[in-house]
Amino acid sequence: MAVLQMRVFPDPILRRRARKVTQFDAKLARLAADMAETMTAHRGVGLAANQVGVLQRMCLVRMEDWEEALVLVNPEVIRREGLREVEEGCLSLPGYRGMVNRAERIRVRYQDLQGKQQRLKADCMLAQAIEHETDHLNGILYLDHLIAHDQLFRIHVNEDGEVEYIPTGEPDAAELEAAARRMNNPPQVPQFDPSHGRPATPAADDATAAD
């Protein structure tokens, strides 16, 4: 197994629609294993193939207490119920988090690595992760679901280990590149944990981001 290179925004592959998987072979299983290792290395909860430069409709999710990742091939969210505001991050946008709308419950149809059709009902963080990762396969990022333009934050872990949220607009390429260079060790904040210390109302004088 190998850790694959993570594609980072604004890499155009993140905006492309992945193609349907038709070959359920050893090569696909190998890609899934490499993606699982890559996700573990980045302490992620989910990973889509686009993010490692492969335009195939496959993604992985793994909740904290799971031993193995769940591999979803050709996943399709076939039902969404309810709406909730949650905090979200993405391995392809290191150092950023945003507030987005996600469903409370979903049903997803997918194939496993053998090509067998499967169905799953999910709620809470699992539903959020599956929505996020299936979005990736359609070229959609959580930036597209922000509840408001100013609900994107740059995160910074201060000297006391506290997570600080710095309001920003949509990150531009130069800023993200600089952030990626700074962050050989990006702040360790769970990808989908809504319980972090984001200020309920960001300080007004910090909100300087331009349109």
Q: Which residues are annotated as catalytic?
A: 133
Q: Can you read off the two tokens belonging to residue 72?
A: 């979803």
Number of shown-chain residues binding Co ion (CB under 5 A): 1
| Shortest separation between residue 2's beta carbon and Co ion, angstroms | 20
Taking CB under 5 A as the criterion, the residue among 28, 90, 99, 108 binding Co ion is 90
Q: Distance between CA 180 and CA 197 in Å, rounded?
A: 23
Stretch that binds Co ion, among 25-33, 90-98, 146-154, 167-175 (CB under 5 A): 90-98
Q: Does 122 contact Co ion by CB under 5 A? A: no
| Shortest separation between residue 91's beta carbon and Co ion, angstroms | 6
Alpha-carbon 156 to chain mean position? 18
Q: Does 60 contact Co ion by CB under 5 A? A: no
Q: Distance between CA 149 and CA 83 in Å, rounded?
A: 19
What is the number of alpha carbons within 13 Å of residue 51 lying toward its C-beta? 28
- Tell which residue, 153, 176, 173, has the closest CA to residue 163: 153
Which residue is at the shortest CB distance from Co ion? 90
Q: Are residues 169 and 211 in contact, defined by beta-carbon separation less than 8 angstroms?
A: yes
Q: What are phi and psi of 34, to 5 degrees?
A: -65, -40
| Shortest separation between residue 194's beta carbon and Co ion, angstroms | 16
Q: Are residues 88 and 98 in contact, defined by beta-carbon separation less than 8 angstroms?
A: yes
Q: Are residues 121 and 105 in contact, defined by beta-carbon separation less than 8 angstroms?
A: yes
Q: Does 176 contact Co ion by CB under 5 A? A: no
- Tell which residue, 168, 195, 47, has the closest CA to residue 96: 168
Q: Does 4 contact Co ion by CB under 5 A? A: no
| Shortest separation between residue 187's beta carbon and Co ion, angstroms | 16
| Shortest separation between residue 192's beta carbon and Co ion, angstroms | 10
Q: Which is nearer to Co ion, 193 or 206 (CB)?
A: 193
Q: Which is nearer to Co ion, 31 or 135 (CB)?
A: 135
Q: Which is nearer to Co ion, 49 or 73 (CB)?
A: 49
Interacting residue ranges for Co ion, rule: CB under 5 A: 90
